[in-house]
Structure 1
Amino acid sequence: MTDALKRGRDVLAEMNPEIEQVLRDRYDGILPGFAESLVEWAYGRHYSREGLDMKTRQLCTVAALTTLGGQTAPQLKINIENTLAAGASEREIAEAIWQMAVYGGLPAAINGLNAAKEVFEAY
């Protein structure tokens, strides 16, 4: 196991311990190693970096996914859950999404707020 994979798994153990298995079950049949690669690269090499705390990283992720638009709703919902797990409040998440109305447009922000509302109601 690489150091980055271990770091990625450590990050996910605190935020979303089931995600690697969910990804493995869903994608490894058509793309072997996908789940492990994602955990190693995204979480082990990016989310685990020094310089930003996890709450800030997650708020940035929510903002980026919001700006990308409605097609990212599944990933946005997962990352809203991760952002709550990282210590952000519902208000902070909603404000980060709303801020993206300036950059991604009102439809993107509304879609983001709809995703957040679903997560908050289920959380």
Structure 2
Amino acid sequence: MNKEKFEKGLEIRRSVLGAEYVDQSIQNATDFNRPMQELVTEYCWGEIWAREGLPKKTRSMLNLAMLTALNRPHELKLHVRGAVNNGLSKDDIQEVFLQAAIYCGVPAAIDSFRSAKEVFDEMDKE
């Protein structure tokens, strides 16, 4: 493991997804899933998210569209919150899901709208 990339990835991951969530994921890692936590932190966050080619806001938009296409509601909810942390408005997120509806399918986009609403409702209570 590249310690420098891991630490940079941890910093970015915390800033996007929230320190509490990330720290809990790392602390709750077991011998079985710890390698996955390390892989995600080092490569996803420390290698790709750390690149300067795209701003975090754009990366969040891409993630929302791809997670809609892949129909991954758990990860989508996590990244809706991250998208808000990266400066996307509800209107921005709505536009991403409408665009995804055309290219990924209406049922996938409906599920994404539903998941995002749950996140927005939770955030309104905080």
TM-score (norm 2): 0.87
Amino acid paired to 1:20: V
Partner in structure 2 of residue 56 of structure 1: 58
Aligned position for 2:6:
5
CA contact (8 A) 1:76 1:115 kept: yes
2:118 corresponds to: 118
Please state how far the C-alpha of 1:54 moved relative to its aligned partner: 0.4
Query: Which residue of the partner structure matches residue 23 of structure 1?
Result: 25
CA RMSD of aligned residues (A): 1.6
Q: Aligned partners of 1:8, 1:19: CA distance in 2, in Å? A: 14
For residues 57-96 of structure 1, what are the structure 2 equivalents within 5 Å?
57-69=59-71, 72-96=72-96
Cα distance in 1, alignment partners of residues 34 and 53 from structure 2: 32
Give 3-state SS (helix, strand or coil) of 1:52's partner. coil
* C-alpha contact (below 8 Å) 1:98/1:113 kept by paired residues: no
Deviations 1:36-83 (A, max 9, x none): 2211111001111111110110111011001112xx111000000000
For residues 78 and 32 of structure 1, the distance between their equivalents in structure 2, rounded to whole angstroms, comes to 19
Question: Is the 8 Å Cα contact of residues 97 and 113 (structure 1) preserved in structure 2?
Answer: yes
Q: Which residue identity lines up with residue 59 of structure 2 in the other structure?
A: R
Could you tell me whether the CA contact under 8 Å between 2:10 and 2:46 is conserved in 1?
yes
- The number of equivalent residue pairs is 121
Q: Which residue of structure 1 aligns with residue 43 of structure 2? A: 41
Distance 1:34 1:22 in 2: 14
Percent of pairs identical after alignment? 29
Q: Secondary structure of 1:48's partner?
A: coil
Give the gaps of 5 or more residues in structure 2. Answer: none
